[in-house]
């Protein structure tokens, strides 16, 4: 499956998620769904889907949140998952067998021709922080919502509020060069950490009644399976994995040992809890 045609400013992200980024997420799909399950619950709780509604899930990845919405809206409803990653959507389609109310589309939501005013909910779990021009992207996505349609998404707060991502990266940095420094509004996992920026972007895109709620959680990166699973999850999640791309085997092995050393004091039985913090964002399409 080819990569989608997208907005030129999103080309780098499209290349990444159709290359190692997407392939990596497919390989760890089951574990990631387990670790990130609390955020799917937050999203569903705030979006409040009901039977018969139509939902667009942006940046749906391997489809976990799309399936959760499909279950809530039932046979009379519909859940459309949109993503730029062909590998991840291929996995989503494998998992969707027998689910008649689910559909997946390979597209850049910045320019995709959504059917106008045809959906009740626009939602995303960590899928909207990677747009180069997010106000443009959200304005296009808003066209899919009927008047009064609801926007709900989950995004990461600051790096310091998310040790589950940053502690492994700090350990890896003992052995490899630091990743290029991103500006606070550059596409990336923390690009919506600023409350002011989120309000500004959504306002420019035409949304109203914008609200943001902080949620702090403890994520068990071991998923109840012990320290070595926690080390593997930490190694494979977020920026630590990206920092190790292309590094020689001896540096990878040394990084693994440093991650293990950092996580060992945090182990509680078969769990390794680490802090995480997100914004739960809601808005309305006039």
- pTM of the full structure: 0.93
Angular region, 78: left φ>0, alpha ψ -120 to 50, beta rest: beta
Kindly list the domain boundaries of the chain, sorted by start residue: 8-284
The per-residue pLDDT for 23 is 86
The per-residue pLDDT for 93 is 96
Low-confidence ranges of the chain (pLDDT < 70): 1
Task: Give the E-state strand segments of the chain in sequence order.
Answer: 54-58, 78-83, 102-106, 119-125, 145-156, 208-220, 273-284
- In the DSSP assignment, the letter for residue 97 is T
Q: Per-residue pLDDT tens for 123-163?
A: 999 999 999 999 999 999 999 999 999 999 999 999 999 99
Contact 165, 159 (CB under 8 A): yes
Q: Could you confirm whether domain 8-284 is CATH 3.30.70.980? A: no
C-alpha 7/C-alpha 133 separation (Å) is 9
Contact 171, 231 (CB under 8 A): no
Nearest to 172 by CA among 273, 109, 274, 256: 256
Q: How far is CA 160 from CA 39, 198, 204, in A?
A: 19, 19, 28
């Amino acid at each position: 499956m080819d990569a989608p045609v997208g907005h030129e400013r999103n080309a780098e992200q499209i290349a990444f998620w159709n290359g190692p980024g997407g392939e990596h997420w497919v390989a760890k799909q089951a574990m990631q769904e387990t670790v990130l399950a609390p955020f799917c619950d937050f999203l569903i709780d705030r979006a409040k889907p009901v039977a018969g509604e139509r939902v667009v899930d942006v940046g749906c990845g391997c489809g976990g949140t799309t399936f959760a919405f499909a279950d809530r809206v039932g046979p009379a409803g519909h859940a459309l998952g949109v993503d730029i990653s062909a590998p991840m959507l291929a996995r989503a389609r494998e998992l969707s067998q027998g689910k008649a109310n689910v559909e997946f589309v390979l597209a850049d939501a910045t320019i995709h021709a959504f059917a106008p005013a045809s959906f009740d909910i626009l939602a995303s779990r960590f899928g909207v922080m990677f747009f180069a021009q997010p106000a443009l992207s959200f304005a296009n996505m808003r066209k899919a919502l009927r008047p009064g349609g609801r926007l709900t998404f989950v995004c990461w707060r600051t790096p310091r509020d998310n040790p589950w991502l940053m502690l492994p990266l700090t350990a890896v940095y003992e052995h490899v060069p630091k990743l290029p420094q991103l500006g606070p509004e550059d596409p990336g996992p923390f690009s919506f950490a600023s409350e002011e920026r989120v309000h500004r972007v959504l306002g420019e895109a035409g949304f109203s009644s914008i609200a943001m709620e902080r949620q702090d959680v403890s994520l068990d990166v071991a998923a109840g399976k012990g320290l070595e699973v926690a080390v593997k999850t930490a190694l494979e999640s977020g920026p630590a994995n990206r920092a190790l791309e292309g590094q020689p085997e001896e540096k990878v092995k040394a990084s693994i040992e440093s991650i293990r050393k950092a996580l060992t004091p945090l182990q509680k039985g078969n769990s390794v809890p680490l802090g995480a913090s997100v914004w739960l964002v809601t808005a309305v399409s006039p």
